[in-house]
C-alpha cells in the first residue's frame, strides 16, 4: 500500500491567491483528518470526514478555508484567499473507522508558504 | 489549547543511552497514543496504551501510564542515531464526547548523537 498521498509537497504562493491541497487516503479507510502544524500551535485538527461526510469542521479557522471529500479516495483543502498567517505544514491522515483508539496514518504533508 | 504536553521540549543523548519523555494531560482519557515525526515527514504511530493499562512494551519502546497523575512516559532503550525525531503524545481527552478526536502535544525533540 502506498500510504496516504498528499500533493503538492511544497507550495509557495502570494497573499490573496487560492491554494488547493490534495489528499488520497489509504484504500479501505473510511475516516479522513486534515491537520495543520505550526511551531506556535502545534498540530491542530481542522476537519474530520467519515464516509466522505464532514463530521467536525470546528477547527477550520475561518470561511477562507473549505474542505471537500467527493469520494472515498480523494479530499481537498482549499484556502481562498490565502494569507501569510496560513503558512504551515498541512497533513492529511486516515484511519480505518475514525475511533480515537485507532492508528492514524499520516501523509508526508504539504509545506505551504504564503508570501 | 494543547492538552497533552510533553516534557522535556528537547533532549540530547548519546547513542546507546536510554531516552525518557513524559506527557501530561488534564482530564480523564480512554487511551493515549505516542507518535514519532522525522524531520520533514508525517507522524508515525508507535504505540497505544488504554486507560486500564499501566505499562506496555513494543521492541525497544516502553510506555507507562499513571492515570492518577494524568501522565505517561515513553522510554526508548539503547537509542540509535535513527531514533532522532520529534515524539508526540496524543489523547482523546478533548474529544467533547466524540470518539474520534485526538489532541496532540507539541512534542519532544530527541537528538541521538552517534
Question: What does each of the 115 residues of chain A score in pLDDT, given as a tens digit?
Answer: 689 999 999 999 999 999 999 999 999 999 999 999 999 999 999 999 999 999 999 999 889 999 999 999 999 999 999 999 999 999 999 999 888 889 999 999 999 999 9
3-state secondary structure of B83: helix
* Residue among A77, A81, A103, A101 nearest A13 (CA): A81
3-state secondary structure of A22: strand
DSSP character for B107?
A: -
Which of A45, A55, A109 is closest, CB to CB, to B42? A109
CA distance B107 to chain A (A): 8
CA atoms of A52 and A54, how far apart (whole Å): 7
CA atoms of B36 and A104, how far apart (whole Å): 12
Res B8: pLDDT: 87
Residues contacting residue A58 through CB under 8 Å, at least 6 positions apart: none
Rounded mean pLDDT, B65-92:
96
Residue B46 class from Cβ within 10 Å (0-12 exposed, 13-18 middle, 19+ buried)?
Answer: buried
A42 touches chain B (CB under 8 A): yes
CB atoms under 10 Å from CB of A32, counted, come to 28
Q: What percent of chain B has pLDDT over 90?
A: 75
Which of A42, A98, A100 is closest, CB to CB, to B2? A42
E strand or H helix at A108: none
Q: Are A62 and A78 in contact (CB under 8 A)?
A: no
Res B94: pLDDT: 62
Q: How far is CA B92 from the centre of its chain?
A: 13
Res B59: pLDDT: 97
Please answer yes or no on whether A100 and B106 come within 8 Å at the CB atom. Answer: no
Tens digit of each residue's pLDDT (9 = 90 or more) over B4-32: 678 889 999 999 999 999 999 988 889 99
Question: What is the number of helices (H) and of strands (E) in chain A?
Answer: 0, 11
CA atoms of A91 and A25, how far apart (whole Å): 11
Res B93: pLDDT: 75
Res B19: pLDDT: 97
pLDDT over threshold 60, residue B3? no
pLDDT over threshold 70, residue B51? yes
* Residue among B87, B4, B3 nearest B39 (CA): B87
pLDDT over threshold 70, residue B95? no
Overall size of chain A counted in residues: 115
Q: Are B113 and B12 in contact (CB under 8 A)?
A: yes
The three three-digit cell numbers of residue B7, written as one number: 516534557
3-state secondary structure of A23: strand
Res B2: pLDDT: 35
Q: Which residues of B touch A41 (CB under 8 A)?
A: 2
CA distance A114 to chain B (A): 18
Q: How far is CA B86 from the centre of its chain?
A: 9
Q: Which residues of A touch B2 (CB under 8 A)?
A: 41-42
The three three-digit cell numbers of residue B102, written as one number: 485526538
Res A1: pLDDT: 64
pLDDT band at B101 (very low <50, low <70, confident <90, very high): confident
pLDDT band at B76 (very low <50, low <70, confident <90, very high): very high
Q: What is the CA radius of gyration of chain A?
A: 13
Amino acid at each position: 500500500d502506498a500510504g496516504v498521498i498528499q500533493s503538492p509537497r511544497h507550495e509557495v504562493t502570494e497573499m490573496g491567491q487560492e491554494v488547493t491541497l490534495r489528499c488520497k487516503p489509504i484504500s479501505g479507510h473510511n475516516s479522513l483528518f486534515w491537520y495543520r502544524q505550526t511551531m506556535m500551535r502545534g498540530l491542530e485538527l481542522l476537519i474530520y470526514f467519515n464516509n466522505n461526510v464532514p463530521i467536525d469542521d470546528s477547527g477550520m479557522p475561518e470561511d477562507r478555508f473549505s474542505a471537500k471529500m467527493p469520494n472515498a479516495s480523494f479530499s481537498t483543502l482549499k484556502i481562498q484567499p490565502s494569507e501569510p498567517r496560513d503558512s504551515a505544514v498541512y497533513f492529511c491522515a486516515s484511519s480505518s473507522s475514525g475511533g480515537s483508539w485507532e492508528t492514524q496514518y499520516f501523509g508526508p504533508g504539504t509545506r505551504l508558504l504564503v508570501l | 489549547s494543547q492538552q497533552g504536553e510533553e516534557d522535556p521540549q528537547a533532549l540530547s543523548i548519546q547513542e546507546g543511552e536510554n531516552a525518557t519523555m513524559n506527557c501530561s494531560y488534564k482530564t480523564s482519557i480512554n487511551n493515549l497514543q505516542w507518535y514519532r515525526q522525522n524531520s520533514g515527514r508525517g507522524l508515525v504511530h508507535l504505540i497505544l496504551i488504554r486507560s486500564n493499562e499501566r505499562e506496555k512494551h513494543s521492541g525497544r519502546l516502553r510506555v507507562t501510564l499513571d492515570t492518577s497523575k494524568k501522565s505517561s512516559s515513553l522510554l526508548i532503550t539503547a537509542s540509535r542515531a535513527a531514533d532522532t525525531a520529534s515524539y508526540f503524545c496524543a489523547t482523546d481527552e478533548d474529544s467533547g464526547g466524540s470518539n474520534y478526536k485526538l489532541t496532540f502535544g507539541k512534542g519532544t525533540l530527541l537528538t541521538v548523537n552517534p
